[in-house]
A and B are shown apart, each in its own frame.
Chain A
Amino acid sequence: MSRLALVNIAVLGLLIGGALVAHLTGHAFLVTLATKAAIFALAGVGLNFALGYGGLVSFGHAAFFGIGGYVTGILASHAMSGTPLTTLPYTMNGTNEMLAIWPMVLLVSGLAALAIGALSLRTSGVYFIMVTLAFAQMIYWFAIGWPAYGGEDGLSFYVRNTFPGVPTMRPLNYFLICTALLLLALGFTAVVMRARFGLALQAARRNTQRTVAVGIRPFGIRLTAFVISAMITGLAGSLYADLNRFVSPAMLNWHMSGEIMVFIILGGVGRLMGPVAGAVVFVTMEHLLGGITEYWQVLLGLVLLAIVLWAPGGIVGMLSGRGRDNAH
């Protein structure tokens, strides 16, 4: 077994094992914290699909994270109040079934990504970074001023949505649901990146011209990757909404886009487990450093700085002994 595989297993083991130990020792909050890490990791896995493998540096993935959250919140609040979302063209009711919400989340975030991606992919490099940010900011400002679902106050739905046969309010149960989805997304990514589509996507990142020369049109591949990436991040947004039983425009803020990106860079760009390692370390540091001093963000900044300066290739790269240059 390679060192990289060992690191990958260790990262997942730390997340799942940590949550189980916390549960058995009665630290319910640490289970919640692990759930947050798993959800952020899922959001990162989504972004990594486009950013890490496809070289599409999106600075606007908070849009999809927030859309996933709002779809969840809106459906749940309508289910709670018993009012239909819309009666045109046909009556559509809210729901509090996760299994009904998730497909809706995937659909809406996928459609949003199709539109945003189709326009944004006309640009590249720094311009792509900024145009994706522009679209996310539009949605953010819209959500702030849109009174129907709470505007800046956000939308509370009090009770976590339901999953057949599982009481979701118990922290460990909800952690397991989130982790199962995370593992699914990781498995999906691993399979796709070894298939024709994934190889073409990665080839297009390394050398666009050569890809075109062998008859592959990068636009369609990139757009597909962008949409899949957004759907995974949207799903994470749905889970995050359920974790807090609350959504607000803060989920759409550019800070969120930045944080999702930081998880990936911290963990290792274009590495399967990069976002997981990054999210686990980030959430853990936030929790531990917060207890040391009121000015804990200075410490967080110093640690991040140290990692970027002395561990290129992120945590996974450092631990597996392979820097970014020979990662691929």
Chain B
Amino acid sequence: MKLLSTLSLAAALMAGTAFAAPVKVGMITTLSGGGAGLGMDTRDGFDLALKLAGDAASEITVVTEDDQQKPDVAVQIADKMIQSDNVDILTGIVWSNLAMAVVPAAVQQGKFYLSTNAGPSALAGAQCDPNYFSVSYQNDNFHEAAGQAAMDAGYKNVFIMAPNYPAGQDALTGFKRYYTGELAGEIYTQVGQTDYAGEIAQIRDSGADAVFFFLPGGMGISFIKQYAGSGVTTPLIGPAFSFSQDVLPAVGDAALGIRNTASWAPDLDNEANHKFVEAFKEEYGRIPSVYAAQAYDTANLILSAAAKADVTDADAFREALREADFDSVRGNFTFGPNQHPIQDLYVREVVKDADGVLTNKIVGVAIEDRGDAYAEQCSM
């Protein structure tokens, strides 16, 4: 009897590895134009995981297409991947507005969507779907962590700003969910704004003891440079997007010492992360960004599920995904009821590494085991 069960266990294990069914992944990400750096990190992180997996990844094929950071193009690529390429899983979109365009229709057609980055609140709450997993975060998370970090640092009067679009409005909401002190000011800037003299004047005038800002991409680069040259010394705090490895070299020393929040950093101390960061540097000659880390985790999640279930059996595959049975570079990682991560959020600080390259090191934990605020609106 005992022998029999051991045998069947062995058979089950073999079935898990040797007989993994083919999985076709469609990666839609930004590979041209000003946002291409984020898409490249996403693609490279994903590819690296498959490469390191070796034979275990032999049944996984990936088709990659450039969405040009345009939502309509992203939708058309998704249609193509579903209609012509017959992919099982879609992934890779960097931007929330593109995710909102693609995800609802894709999951409705029975495809899995695993988010490597964007985690808009609508998809975490009322519009959650059994086929949609966010492997990255819910959009509010990094801002919530910044709010908690502001509380922990003892700030009492914070000036907050973000671009005037939904992700920006979510950012300020997320910050205020954990930060309960006074607001010295609250402003929305123009999307794509390049000159922040006016905002800096308002900050100077406000008497704030800290500034929280969410300005991704080029906006953040411009703001931090101009802030550093303005003579205003009120400390900055923000989510990792303006301090990620893709923009940090361009900001330069102006970013040194600024605290920012994320679910990951290159120096996060766990075995999976050491392996990832070393291999990424080796393969691509640069330090990975948080986007690369999240894409790497996404690929490993797919590998873990493919080893347990056949993707054509959607229910079994979904169950396997929900288990999140992979070694995340972010350490402890599980899915909440709305299939968004429950993970630790860290405070990081911009430093120079041994080679003089700007990067982030972890200086503390902002929130442990954070899920998200929208899970209860999700009926699944």
Q: Which residues of A contact B (CB under 8 A)?
A: 27-30, 32-33, 36, 141, 144-145, 147, 150-154, 156, 158, 171, 240, 243-246, 248, 250-251, 290, 294-297
Contacts and interface: CB of A to CB of B under 8 A. Distances in A.
A248 B83 contact: no
A151 B166 contact: yes
Nearest to B191: A144
Contacts, number: 84
* Interface SS of B by simple majority: helix
Contacts of A245: 75, 105
Contacts of B108: 158
Contact of B72 (A33, A141, A248, A294): A248
B312 interface: no
A153 B79 contact: no
Nearest to B32: A297
Given A29-B83, A171-B83, A244-B75, A153 B105 contact: no
A30 B97 CA distance: 25
Contact of B105 (A156, A296, A297): A156
Interface residues of B, number: 30
Contacts of A141: 190
20 contacts: A29-B79, A33-B76, A144-B164, A147-B166, A151-B165, A152-B97, A152-B167, A153-B166, A153-B167, A154-B71, A154-B101, A156-B100, A158-B105, A244-B75, A244-B76, A246-B75, A250-B71, A290-B65, A294-B66, A296-B32
Interface of B: 31-32, 65-66, 70-72, 75-76, 79-80, 83-84, 96-97, 100-101, 104-105, 108, 120, 122, 164-167, 169, 188, 190-191
Given A153-B120, A153-B165, A27 B84 contact: yes
B214 to A, nearest CB: 14
Given A32-B76, A158-B105, A250 B70 contact: yes
A248 B101 contact: yes
Nearest to A296: B32
A59 to B, nearest CB: 19
Contacts of A250: 70-72
B32 A28 contact: no
A295 to B, nearest CB: 8
A153 B164 contact: no
